[in-house]
Structure 1
Amino acid sequence: MFPLLETARLRLRALTTQDTERIFQCFAHEEVIRYYGQERFQELQQAERLIELFAQSFATEKGIRWGIELKETAEIIGTIGFHNWLKAHKRAEIGYELHPDYWHKGYAQEALTEVLAYGFQKMDLTRIGAVVFIENAASSQLLLKMGFQKEGILRAYMYQHGQAHDTIIYALLKTAYEGAN
């Protein structure tokens, strides 16, 4: 059963085909995918496939991706969740994106706080990693604020618009998380 998480302003829930248009609006926006390692969506079917991919990832226990829904309006404003989940090694990587209309309002931090708690407490993760384009200062600042530590640079690690980009690898260990909470 897909876990429903709630914060003061957000509901984190499974995405459905009814969310296709909102997911398309996110991933068709150049500002959203600028540091995502993929090209902008051009067709609604790409959003449908992404929603299916998230569902398959959960079904096969390789990841879990929540839609970030505003309680006030019941609209999806982005997604957040884990990928590269290796249960045997108690680790996963976190990823997230928000539509620019919702940037700088604290939604990413609010969702991330809830998802980190779920990862450490319910999924029994020992390590949560994050890979971030070096140019993505906002994401780097958020991760550092949440207690992640920079571990190093992954050179030419991701491609965007046919060009290789260096990324930073961040990680938060369960021991550090529990010590801070």
Structure 2
Amino acid sequence: MPFPTLTTDRLILRQTSQADAASIFSIFSDPAVVEFYDIEALQDGSQAEEILDRHQKLFESKRGIRWGIALRDSGTLVGTAGYFGKIEAYSSAVLGYDLSRTQWGKGIMVEALRAILTYGFAQYGLNRIQATTDLDSLRSVATLKRLGFQEEGTLRQSGFWKGKFHDVRCFSLLRSEWTTIRSL
């Protein structure tokens, strides 16, 4: 299967490549972007190349797909989003996303995720999409709720990053719910 390119009014969601290393480094070297991630802020370009390599391997293994989020007018890569942990037998996957701080508050991530959710339910064979957030990641919680995700509860010490365990909030969205939301 070729890598699917998705477009929205302001965005092109495309496959990332090693040519995106400088943009990935810029995004992931910002401590605010990785505050709730299982990585520290990047310190050198080789770490960005490793992230891009993981994106490629994720797609090749059919365990997920991660799009680069590029601004349509400039082609600038400003984030990534997609699925990992895909379980074919359960038609489920986990959603993950990140965005350059310069783009926060502009509706970019909601726009990107709408396209990714539509693809996930219509072409990627998903019935359930799950997302988890740190308890304090209020921007992420707001994004998920805006898209119709339902909070299922707190998973106690389910996350481990930056040397300690964290409680996370679990959210999910079902295909039947997305179909209803999209028709409103």
TM-score over 0.5 for the pair:
yes
Map of 2:100 onto structure 1: 99
Deviation string for 1:76-108 (max 9, x for gaps)?
A: 001000000111210001110101000000100
1:165, CA displacement in angstroms?
1.4
Map of 2:175 onto structure 1: 174
Distance 2:181 2:105 in 1: 24
1:80 has 2:81 as partner: yes
Is 1:34–1:160's contact at 8 Å kept on the other side of the alignment?
no
1:14 has 2:18 as partner: no
Residue type at the aligned position of 2:35: R
Distance 1:33 1:98 in 2: 10
Distance 2:42 2:114 in 1: 28
Map of 1:140 onto structure 2: 141
Distance 1:21 1:173 in 2: 36
Map of 2:26 onto structure 1: 25
Identity within the alignment, %: 35
Runs of 4+ in 1 over 6 A off after TM superposition: none
1:152, CA displacement in angstroms?
1.1
RMSD: 0.8
Distance 2:64 2:48 in 1: 18
Is 1:15–1:66's contact at 8 Å kept on the other side of the alignment?
yes
Is 1:69–1:78's contact at 8 Å kept on the other side of the alignment?
yes
Distance 2:90 2:150 in 1: 19
1:43, CA displacement in angstroms?
1.5
Query: Taking structure 2 as the reference length, what is the TM-score of the superposition?
Result: 0.96
| Unpaired segments ≥5 residues, structure 1 | none
| Unpaired segments ≥5 residues, structure 2 | none
Query: Taking structure 1 as the reference length, what is the TM-score of the superposition?
Result: 0.97
1:61 has 2:76 as partner: no
1:46, CA displacement in angstroms?
0.9
Distance 2:150 2:175 in 1: 12
Distance 2:162 2:62 in 1: 30
Is 1:38–1:159's contact at 8 Å kept on the other side of the alignment?
no
What number of residue pairs does the alignment pair up?
181
Map of 2:155 onto structure 1: 154
